[in-house]
Structure 1
Amino acid sequence: MELKLPELGDNVSAATVVGVLVKEGDRVAPGDPLLELETDKAVMEVPAEAGGVVRRVLVKVGDEVRPGQPFLELAEEAGEEAQAPEAPRAAPAPPKPLEAPSPAPKAPVAPLEEERRLIPAAPSVRRLARELGVDLQQVRGTGLAGRITAEDVRRAAGLLAPSELPPAALPAAQAPKLPDFSRWGPVRTEPMSGVRKATMRSMAQAWAQVPMVTHFDEADITELEGLRKRYAKRAEERGFRLTLTAFLLKALALTLRAFPKFNASIDPEKAEVIFKDYVHIGVAVDTPHGLLVPVIRNVDQKGVLRLAKELQEVSERARERKLAPEEMQGGTFSLSNLGGIGGTGFTPIVNWPEVAILGVSRSQTKPVWDPEKEAFQPRLVMPFSLTYDHRLIDGAEAARFCRHLAQLLEDPLGLALE
């Protein structure tokens, strides 16, 4: 039996082998781990879908592999290993060697492959593919999360002209060839990690798809920081840290509910706006392996302490590379907090197909004019920036969004009541 790699997740077309967990002659049971793969931004195990004896391992550490690619040969019975070499001697006649390999493997493999690859397509799309004679295994989905649409099927059947292709499906411009840098001095090269390659792809796609504008603002978080310090010990007694990011998540969720356009996505093919009735916020986490963005789900339905606990747990899994692919999918808005490192401001890139992202920089104590006391008072001020998709969001809307967020952060009692 030839084992093939299953689908690895939404929009994951390739992975790198980082561990081979079996060798030839090993006996494995269904569910035993066979490989470790680095897929975009996570490391995952590939389990055995059947039991038997490992006859041959077809990949090695460092190989780039794709869904559907054979990676291991498995004998159902140990005795099959001894029979395998005799197969050529059993069919010496001229016609047989050409005919035997053709029908024998293909008949059982096709249904197994159909079951193994989970094709992201609706029943109506599957029916259309059958009517047009299109093999869905060969179709690349251009819909949300890589789903195969009716247009993808018609395109595969040759019923759509190239001019009807959506922008995302059109060939990208070729990058110019690099010069030979070694002409001017010594150089060295190292391969990009899977995380860095995924970041390169997603950032290039976002920059090409989204016309971005960044709006800058700041919030007086003096009272909020006092509240955080007051309850920090209570959180530590429960085994987690109460950080400013947890308060930011709560304030963001409430602001997204008040400004639903910032929690939406654009469908340019249909000229529609997709509003999401859930708030899942991706939080950028700095790890030794690169930037990972796990998603905190249903943020608007959770309290600050619970958000702080979940944030710490998911950040630890990110740094240990134990995030599952689905933990980094489904976000509706993103947050990047660089306040712990430094800086006075930056312009984060929108994480397409989202339409906005918030960047937070280091808070500083500044003199702020107090009209009641007619004097400057020392206040803790947090700078932040909102990058947004100008196709959907106008500058005035972005300014109102930022003011609403700042007011929630400046009034912690109001934030708690909300």
Structure 2
Amino acid sequence: MEVKLPELGDNVTQATVVGVLVKEGDRVEPGQPLLELETDKAVVEVPAEAGGVVKRVLVKVGDEVRPGQPFLELAEAEGGAEAPPLKAEERPEAPAPKAEEAPRPAPKEAPPAPQEAPSERRLIPAAPSIRRLARELGVDLTRLRGTGLAGRITEEDVRRAAGLGEAAPAALPAAPAPRLPDFTKWGPVRREPMSGVRKATVRSMSQAWAQVPMVTHFDEADVTELEALRKQYAKKAEEKGFRLTLTAFLLKALALTLKAFPKFNASLDVEAQEIVYKDYIHIGVAVDTPHGLLVPVIRDVDRKGVLRLAEELQEISQRARERKLSPEEMQGATFSLSNLGGIGGTGFTPIVNWPEVAILGVSRSQMKPLWDPGKEAFVPRLVMPFSLTYDHRLIDGADAARFCRHLAGILEDPLGLALA
């Protein structure tokens, strides 16, 4: 039996094989990962739809593959003979237990599939985090048809089923890029293909620039006491196995500010002429990796303390650098944060990640002389510059200024931030 590559998602016509997880002679079970593919900004796994023994592997690492292309041949084990077991490898998600098995989802527009006999059970194609969200929202995963890779159920599918939002409208087609001149007329050149991450960055940034009229507001906060508090608890965090960074405090401060200014946590539905306010706060955090910029999402930031945020941030950032993030872990953000303070710079203008309406950029903190009215003198203080880029169709300049002043006030009151 030939195993063919499933649909890879909307507007995804090809992917690169970055990992072959089985070899000839291995026995595989339904739902077990077979391939790792680089598509857009993630390395995703292709699960087996049926069990059997691997007869032949038709692709290798580095191959470009397309939906519908055969990549494996499976055969049934003769006489119930045991084939060599597949070695367990470290992966972002483990296959779900068979207790939650259900019929495999059909394509989105396909008619309802007939019920299978009790003996014909298949796995629900959903990550553990998606299963947890479905339980919280009271959504029956067995009734959903996933729109993700290989029919996997995404967070958007679950929220739509719960009546909490629809899929974002498709982006307008981009204008064709002008033809480049012949650079070889002036000297030697060399070319190299874009990685999947870079291709995705080109698409998303072009879409954002075409969709959103952006303005950037600059401000700064006195983080002297906040840095002292961070250092005070840094050792305790290290004893628990993670680093306590300023970004964790920023996440918490942003969550409190977004609650006070819900418009910054919204999206603009131009077609329906409506503002979509979200009653959850998921913040995307830009991570610099050897493969390019990735933006994993920290969920429910407003419900977590600073130490938990620091631990989760370290874990998800490490998996981003190792290319072990699932597509679901980079979807659903309501606001984004880009902290370049560890590298340098005095300010920059980050680009809004549409359909979000704002993003915060943070630059390197510096010691500056600030006037102390009580002492009637200038005193050295640690000052952090930051910049807020926003969608001017929804957010006015005065709103942005008040947002930044509120955020600065929280950062300058570390005790209140820690107790929040």
Q: TM-score, normalization: structure 2?
A: 0.76
Which of 287, 291, 294 is equivalent to 2:293? Answer: 291
**Are positions 1:33 and 2:33 aligned together?**
yes
Displacement of 1:197 after TM fit? 1.1
Which of 227, 235, 254 is equivalent to 2:229? Answer: 227
Q: Output the CA distance in 2 between the equivalents of 1:120 and 1:385.
A: 43
Q: Deviations for 1:239-278, whole angstroms, at most 9, x for unmatched residues?
A: 1111100100000000000000000111111011111000
- Residues 171 and 318 of structure 1, relative CA distance in 2, 3 Å threshold: closer
- SS where residue 312 of structure 2 aligns? helix
Q: Deviations for 1:91-133, whole angstroms, at most 9, x for unmatched residues?
A: xxxxxxxxxxxxxxxxxxxxxxx9565528999xxxxxxxxxx
- SS where residue 377 of structure 1 aligns? strand
Q: Could you say which residue in structure 1 is the equivalent of 2:395? A: 393
Displacement of 1:22 after TM fit? 4.3
- Residues 304 and 34 of structure 1, relative CA distance in 2, 3 Å threshold: same
**Are positions 1:321 and 2:323 aligned together?**
yes
Letter in 1 for 2:52: G
Q: Which has the larger radius of gyration?
A: 1
Is this contact kept in 2: 1:246–1:305, CA < 8 A? Answer: yes
Which of 266-275 and 24-33 deviates more? 24-33
Which of 58-67 and 208-217 deviates more? 58-67
Q: Output the CA distance in 1 between the equivalents of 2:318 and 2:8.
A: 23
Is this contact kept in 2: 1:216–1:383, CA < 8 A? Answer: yes
- Residues 311 and 25 of structure 1, relative CA distance in 2, 3 Å threshold: closer
Q: Could you say which residue in structure 1 is the equivalent of 2:177? A: 175
Q: Output the CA distance in 2 between the equivalents of 1:319 and 1:170.
A: 31
Letter in 2 for 1:334: S
- Residues 267 and 30 of structure 1, relative CA distance in 2, 3 Å threshold: same
Which of 184-193 and 381-390 deviates more? 184-193
Displacement of 1:30 after TM fit? 3.2
Gaps of 5+ in 1: 80-113, 124-135, 137-143, 150-165
Which of 266, 269, 273 is equivalent to 1:267? Answer: 269
**Are positions 1:247 and 2:249 aligned together?**
yes
Please show how residues 301-320 of structure 1 align to structure 2 within 5 Å.
301-320=303-322
Q: Output the CA distance in 2 between the equivalents of 1:243 and 1:10.
A: 36
Please show how residues 55-204 of structure 1 align to structure 2 within 5 Å.
57-76=57-76, 115=104, 118-119=107-108, 168=170, 170-204=172-206
Is this contact kept in 2: 1:365–1:381, CA < 8 A? Answer: yes
Which of 60-69 and 235-244 deviates more? 60-69
Q: Deviations for 1:213-245, whole angstroms, at most 9, x for unmatched residues?
A: 000000000111111111111111111111100
Q: Output the CA distance in 2 between the equivalents of 1:375 and 1:52.
A: 78
Q: TM-score, normalization: structure 1?
A: 0.76
Displacement of 1:195 after TM fit? 1.1
Is this contact kept in 1: 2:171–2:207, CA < 8 A? Answer: no
- Residues 7 and 277 of structure 1, relative CA distance in 2, 3 Å threshold: farther
Q: Could you say which residue in structure 2 is the equivalent of 1:161? A: none
Q: Output the CA distance in 2 between the equivalents of 1:337 and 1:407.
A: 19
Q: Output the CA distance in 1 between the equivalents of 2:374 and 2:315.
A: 44
Q: Output the CA distance in 2 between the equivalents of 1:69 and 1:294.
A: 30
Displacement of 1:6 after TM fit? 3.2
Q: Output the CA distance in 1 between the equivalents of 2:281 and 2:198.
A: 27
Q: Deviations for 1:359-408, whole angstroms, at most 9, x for unmatched residues?
A: 00000000001111111000000000000011110100000000000000
Displacement of 1:4 after TM fit? 2.7
Displacement of 1:193 after TM fit? 1.1
Displacement of 1:324 after TM fit? 1.4
Is this contact kept in 1: 2:174–2:206, CA < 8 A? Answer: no
Gaps of 5+ in 2: 80-102, 113-146, 148-154, 161-167
Letter in 2 for 1:329: Q
Q: Output the CA distance in 2 between the equivalents of 1:12 and 1:189.
A: 24
Is this contact kept in 1: 2:174–2:207, CA < 8 A? Answer: no
Is this contact kept in 2: 1:52–1:74, CA < 8 A? Answer: yes
- Residues 53 and 342 of structure 1, relative CA distance in 2, 3 Å threshold: same
Root-mean-square deviation (Å): 2.9
Q: Could you say which residue in structure 2 is the equivalent of 1:97? A: none
- SS where residue 375 of structure 2 aligns? coil
Q: Deviations for 1:189-219, whole angstroms, at most 9, x for unmatched residues?
A: 1111111111111111111111110000000
Displacement of 1:18 after TM fit? 1.6
Letter in 2 for 1:30: P
Which of 410, 413, 417 is equivalent to 1:411? Answer: 413
